[in-house]
Structure 1
């Protein structure tokens, strides 16, 4: 749903930044092309979020996997001419940056349109953390990727269901 229509590529890019990099909506809204592109115009393998844009007020490095880098390149290709480096990655119909609140509301509307109850701007981030945990990634690594200072914060994001618990005890 979100990836359809006139703003589909932009909408898809915002969701992919959430699902594949675990970014918060406020972090996504503040991204400029200079954050994502290196000096040669290629999508970086990692970006640095300054303390000013992170929730905890601590700078962190975000790694962009190959799939996300391709998604960003595809999105950039839909923009016609290459955007200026200081231009926001996601722009509104009025050609300005999104506020975190507006992007948050927009993301919620995509989940509602898709019939997914309870979806929010945090759903991609929650999926990112849960998926890493279920893939056996070190809790400390997940904590750092999420930008959390305490493991207990990261643990609250991890969803578990009965099937997972059943499989866990079968390992014994």
Structure 2
């Protein structure tokens, strides 16, 4: 099975623009941004609750812990939220306006939690509408890991951020292209 496409800046901008034309533009844009800035899997995004991401005052948390039931490997892990995502979450909070900590962070059309499969379908529908071949719910995750690797973040840190127990798995997520190879040899 082929790996999901890693997204470049132009593709990300195209997808974000497209999300603004959808029925739930704020939710869909936030889902995409959340995945790009945290590397969470579709299952993990679908399982998020309002109280995971926002404190009792409605302030986005700088970090939060995923419970074992929310992760693929059934192991808890800490998710770190960068400043850019905090800004996105502040906007989302005004749209979502929900004080119930147990409520889904990203409500489905019916108001409940997305299933992992439905979250995957959301990504596939968005990427298909944008004409992105080979893109899936794993594309933002691969993009997250690849971008951090390109900035010199070590594979052990990447594995911890991605929730991988093996750095070999993390290494498979890192996309390599000709520009990176050319830049690497210039470092000599």
Give TM class, smaller chain. over 0.9
Find the residue that maps to 1:165 and give its secondary structure.
helix
Q: Pairwise CA RMSD of aligned residues?
A: 1.2
Matched, 1:53 2:70: yes
Q: Per the alignment, in what secondary structure is the counterpart of residue 35 of structure 2?
A: helix
How many pairs does the alignment contain? Answer: 171
Q: Distance in 2 between matches of 1:47 and 1:144?
A: 14
Secondary structure of the corresponding residue to residue 68 of structure 2: coil
1:162: how far off?
Answer: 1.5
Give the equivalent residue in structure 2 for 1:104. 120
Gaps in structure 1 of 5+ consecutive residues: none
Are 1:117 and 2:133 counterparts? yes
Cα contact 2:47–2:70 (8 A) shared by 1 = yes
Aligned match of 2:102: 86
Shift of 1:29: 0.1
Structure 2: stretches of 5+ with no match in the other structure = 1-17
- What is the CA distance between 1:97 and its match in structure 2? 1.1
Query: What is the CA-CA distance between 1:13 and the residue it aligns to?
Result: 1.0
- Structure 1 residue 156 and structure 2 residue 172: aligned? yes
Alpha-carbon distance in 2 for matches of 1:150, 1:10: 32
Q: Find the counterpart in structure 2 of residue 30 from structure 1.
A: 47
Q: Distance in 2 between matches of 1:50 and 1:96?
A: 19
TM-score (norm 1): 0.95
Report which of the two has the higher share of helix. 2
Q: Hey, what's the Cα distance between the residues in 1 that align with 2:100 and 2:21?
A: 25
Which whole-Å deviations, capped at 9, do the CAs of 1:71-130 have from their partners, x for residues lacking one?
111112123x43421110111221111101011011111001011111100110000000
So what's the TM-score if we normalise by structure 2? 0.87
How far does residue 40 in structure 1 lie from its aligned partner after superposition? 2.6
